[in-house]
Amino acid sequence: LRHLLQSNDRRAVDFALKYTTRHRPSDEQFADDVLHVLQTGDREHVSLSIQFLHRAMKDRRRLHDRLIDSYCRLNSNYSPLILDYLSSQEDLPPETLEGLTGILNQLPYFQIHLILRLLDKREFFSERVESDVAGLLDNPDFFIARRASEHLMKQQLGSETKRKLDAFRQQYRQRL
């Protein structure tokens, strides 16, 4: 099964992933191989991989960390599936939300927007989130920096972040 999960043949991966999901749904020994499929597969592979990992990995913190790590490597068309999964979790720990903001500087606009929207939906904000989002104000992509400023405007900020946000808004007041 490991050989098939790492194959370049889509049919072999399909077979191995479906077999593993049906017959060994809680077998954590395949987790690394399924994470590889998650990062390199197509939409159906990503969806099946998430389902398998949810059942197989008992340590939710470790699962969330691995999914966040994979989020950066995933095709941008499929990465929202990971956010859909995470947002469907009732008791999403603060560490997971902070982990998502820790990768913001590695992502394109749309993925950043989705993460910030999840934070808004969960009404979550912390010092670490503030620091990570404020770092986007220096992003060379104006649209990313503007999205970060919009998110920060809704929050109670520390004095340094407030100054940085005010300076950004003053500098780009013609474009906001």
Written as six digits, the tokens of 57 are: 């990995």
Cβ 139 vs Cβ 107: under 8 Å = no
Give me the pLDDT at residue 2, please: 87
Q: Are 39 and 74 in contact (CB under 8 A)?
A: yes
Tell me which residue of 141, 89, 79 sits closest to 111, measured CA to CA.
Answer: 79
Residue 116 has what pLDDT? 98
- pLDDT computed for residue 43 by the predictor: 93
| pLDDT score, position 27 | 79
**Integer CA distances (angstroms), 149 to 62, 68, 123, in order:** 31, 23, 16
Contacts of 33 (CB under 8 A, 6+ apart): 1, 2, 5, 6
Residue for token pair 């990971």: 82
pLDDT of residue 175: 87
88-92 long-range contacts (CB < 8 A, ≥24 apart) are 89/60, 92/64, 92/122
The DSSP code sequence of 81-96 is HHHHHHHH-TT--HHH
Q: Across the 176 residues of the chain, what is the mean pLDDT of every consecutive 10-residue run?
A: 89 91 83 93 93 93 96 91 95 95 96 97 97 97 97 96 97 89
Distance separating alpha carbons of residues 17 and 13, to the nearest angstrom = 6
pTM of the model: 0.90
Q: 10 Å Cβ neighbour count for 108?
A: 12
